[in-house]
Amino acid sequence: MESGLYVSLSAQLSLERRMDTVARNVANMNTAGYRADAVSFSSLVSNAGEHPVSFASMGETFVDRQAGPITHTGNPLDVAIDGDGWLGIVTGNGTGYTRDGRMQLGIDGVLRTVNGNPVTDVGGTPVAVDPQGGPLTITKDGTISQGGQQVAVLGLFQLAKDATLTRAGNSGFLSDKPATAVVEFTNNGFQQGYAEGSNVNPMMEMTSLISISRAFDSANSAIQKMEDAQQKAVRDLGDV
> pLDDT for 31-42, tens place per residue?
999 999 887 655
> pLDDT for 98-131, tens place per residue?
999 999 999 999 999 999 999 999 999 999 999 9
AA letter at 121: D
Say which residues have a Cβ less than 8 Å from residue 83's Cβ, sequence separation at least 6: 187, 188, 189
- pLDDT of 208 reads 77
- pLDDT of 85 reads 95
CA distances from 66 to 3, 14, 218 (A): 39, 24, 32
AA letter at 105: L
Q: Which residues pair with 192 in a beta bridge?
A: 79
- pLDDT of 188 reads 94
Output the CA angle 155-161-166, nearest 5 degrees. 75
- pLDDT of 60 reads 74
Name the stretches of the chain with pLDDT < 70: 1-14, 40-59, 215-223, 225-240
- pLDDT of 9 reads 55
Question: How many CB atoms are located within 10 Å of the residue 10 CB?
Answer: 19
- pLDDT of 78 reads 97
HSE of 116 in the Cβ direction (CA atoms, 13 Å)?
Answer: 2
- pLDDT of 46 reads 45
- pLDDT of 1 reads 44
User: What residue segments make up the domains of the chain, in order of their start?
Assistant: 2-64+200-239, 70-196
- pLDDT of 240 reads 52
> pLDDT for 157-170, tens place per residue?
999 999 999 999 88
The residue among 22, 63, 36 whose CA lies nearest residue 206 is 22
